[in-house]
Structure 1
């Protein structure tokens, strides 16, 4: 289980053979003309898809420390479209929010009126509108945008931090080599720390939230969890760098996978991660440090760690969120909680992931700035759903080499455990028998000596006679 250059699992770790399926459900806005002309009071969306992509993960630039206790690496992801599993074509045209325009407007509100006016004129010159029409595949994997290109050039010219991706899209920031350098515990010194992320870009904490607990980085990477905690069914945490936080998982029940052949511990994401600060005081740390504003129930604000883009995460179709979010947009549906819950099936002894599913929705917020007229028609603070994603590792699609690992970890480990248990029992039994024989000899020796002495005395008496 230990991660090292000499271990048998290094190839599986650097280039895992299980491939997750990423199912993207896009919210297509269908009444933009009617809304702009004030014929319709609310925007209307129609969910299209899912467009399914197979995700491949590779760990690159791998470096071990001198003692072999830690390993640093970057993640490289790639996405392959699966038309056989998708409901729709890559060329489907969708009408979606113009994310660079939304981001630029939100940032401009902190500048003076003349800067905002100049920015509005700049948008007019580029013919940028609040919504764009794109092929589904480009909106998912990434597309070039003039506003983004110019802003990237400006930030580099001024020596500022720029976006890691040159394109805009749902999966654009995850496609290719990730900029984050992850430092992970190899488990060499302590197997119960195997897979724990110790540092991100050389730091053991974020700098976005108001408490150390919310800023902490130490957590699992989502593939392997501390075996001891899993065996005891204790709460777990895994790190999502794109959300700049760790997310909890709680034990739900004992389950089975692979047609009931393999036992599993099912963990799920608790509902309280999207609770308000009033409902769960621990969520207070995720409120804005500058304004003090807290997000509504059912959403999580990722703007601070997303280069200022007003981004929010929620459940699909705002399930369980504040009623105002559901009624602000037409076309949202009421989903069954069981159909979209986030869960993971862990190996009961080893703690590695065998199958599971994660679901979440991406939203962008309208943040108006006086002088930027492009967003005059839209309500300030309106949350626009972009898409919801379902990332699934299905047990039916697991490759044979990974299945072999699962079966060996289950049955070989069980056999070794039984051998140790019965071997220990047998050793204990033999030891007890030996002790009894020794004690018996110890007890019988004085008796034999006494008998021998009496015999000698009788012989002596007979000889005298």
Structure 2
């Protein structure tokens, strides 16, 4: 029985050692397997049916929420008084994106056109597209600034042209007209006699060129050769650098197309991307870790230097001519129109801009932009990109429509493009990247713990068996020894007694 107990204890010790080794091996192997699967599923490849379909036709619902700055005192503004505005909205549009003309190239890149369409969502909006708002007339006040250096006589002629087409300094139109275009005799005249001056050849609206359009021909790396370059832009419309800006650094096309980033991000990683709408590359920086329904994430935000002027942040000198910090001059890529981009309500901008306009109340929660990224895959989980469109306006002599307008950067609208992973996609994401790895981690540590416990218990049993065995052997040997001595005594004694008996008989 003692021998069997020893064998059983040794068997359990061996089993425990094997469990510890298996659990330890899983600690190293499982992360490698998961990373390998991440790499395989991140590469842009039609063979990855699920991920390729998601990349081609983004299934995540995206929305564009538009807020108008309704002008309350247009007549007073023309007299030189400070503008007063009230925010109206949001007017929410569902955004649908679809990639087309997808072409793979031998150098591990793929090119595509991404088309976008917008559909009004009344249930999510505060108001309807039939709501009427008043905003500055870009055709008049924008053109006035663009043409202020022309001879005075020409400016008088331009002013007369505005009057003949009944174009005033402010527009009072419906939201739908301002968004997607309205009929304008002046627009028709300019398109006929000055073709190319305006971005649109039909109706004129703030988002006319956005709807049913594409963002340009992107060529990005598939990641097949180097996963660290997946989604990175190789060229845009055949260009590897821009021509809008004053320095090579400002003209660089950096990062991705702004939808996904390479996997295996760290807190030192940044989110660079190229935005055709902003006419430049931008870069977000890490702010803090977080969690979304159990999925770990990193939040990235715009640094305060994103729209800083060249005086406050020297690398931005290439985006000048600049005004106050917080304004990006995009006139060079917007037909020289005096248009500026900023954060909504001039958030993170020079405070003096708030002094020029009444009715603005910036806050990070409502007006800061952010992207929440799953760092292991580079997939955005929650996105909110917020930008504001502003018009620089001033009095221009000879163009009477400008009246006595004080020099001001006037907010017109701001919009938020947002989306987050939800539904079956989120469930699949959480299962594959959270639940399964957590289960595997639990199994590996359970194996290690169970193995160590088995080894400890088996070792104790083995020790007890080994301790009892010598005692039993000693007891048996004592008994056997006593019997043997007795037999030896009798064996030695008996012949002596027999010999004595024999001698007695003789005598």
Alpha-carbon distance, 1:390 to partner: 1.9
Q: Quick check: which one's helix share is greater? A: 2
Give matches, 1:138-153, under 5 Å.
Answer: 138-153=177-192
Give matches, 1:45-124, under 5 Å.
Answer: 45-65=85-105, 67=106, 69-124=108-163
Larger radius of gyration: 2
Q: Is the 8 A contact 2:215 2:276 kept in 1?
A: no
Question: What is the CA–CA distance in structure 2 between the aligned matches of 1:408 and 1:172, rounded to whole Å?
Answer: 41
Alpha-carbon distance, 1:43 to partner: 2.2
Give matches, 1:345-424, under 5 Å.
Answer: 345-379=372-406, 381-395=407-421, 398-401=422-425, 403-405=427-429, 407-412=431-436
Partner of 2:271: 236
Aligned residues: 404
Q: Per the alignment, do residues 283 and 268 of structure 1 end up closer, same or farther by CA in structure 2, a change over 3 Å counting?
A: same
Q: Per the alignment, do residues 278 and 68 of structure 1 end up closer, same or farther by CA in structure 2, a change over 3 Å counting?
A: closer
TM-score, normalising length from structure 2? 0.74
Partner of 1:251: 286
Alpha-carbon distance, 1:4 to partner: 2.8
> Cα deviation per residue 1:356-389 (whole Å; 9 max; x = unaligned)?
211121101115543222113212x421110111
Give the secondary structure class of the aligned counterpart of 2:191. helix
Which stretch shifts more, 72-81 or 124-133? 72-81
> Cα deviation per residue 1:175-214 (whole Å; 9 max; x = unaligned)?
1122621111111211111111111110111112122221
Q: Per the alignment, do residues 355 and 179 of structure 1 end up closer, same or farther by CA in structure 2, a change over 3 Å counting?
A: closer
Question: What is the CA–CA distance in structure 2 between the aligned matches of 1:217 and 1:124, rounded to whole Å?
Answer: 43
> Structure 2: 5+ residue runs without aligned partners?
1-41, 449-507
Alpha-carbon distance, 1:165 to partner: 6.6
Answer yes or no: is 1:10 the counterpart of 2:55.
Answer: no
> Cα deviation per residue 1:2-50 (whole Å; 9 max; x = unaligned)?
21333312222121111212111110012223444x4x82221111111
Aligned-pair Cα RMSD in Å: 2.5
Higher relative contact order (CA 8 A, sep 6+): 2
Q: Is the 8 A contact 2:270 2:286 kept in 1?
A: yes
Question: What is the CA–CA distance in structure 1 between the aligned matches of 2:198 and 2:77, rounded to whole Å?
Answer: 34
Q: Is the 8 A contact 2:68 2:89 kept in 1?
A: yes
Give the secondary structure class of the aligned counterpart of 2:124. coil
Q: Per the alignment, do residues 403 and 215 of structure 1 end up closer, same or farther by CA in structure 2, a change over 3 Å counting?
A: farther
TM-score, normalising length from structure 1? 0.80
Partner of 2:210: 174
Give the secondary structure class of the aligned counterpart of 1:374. helix
Partner of 2:342: 314
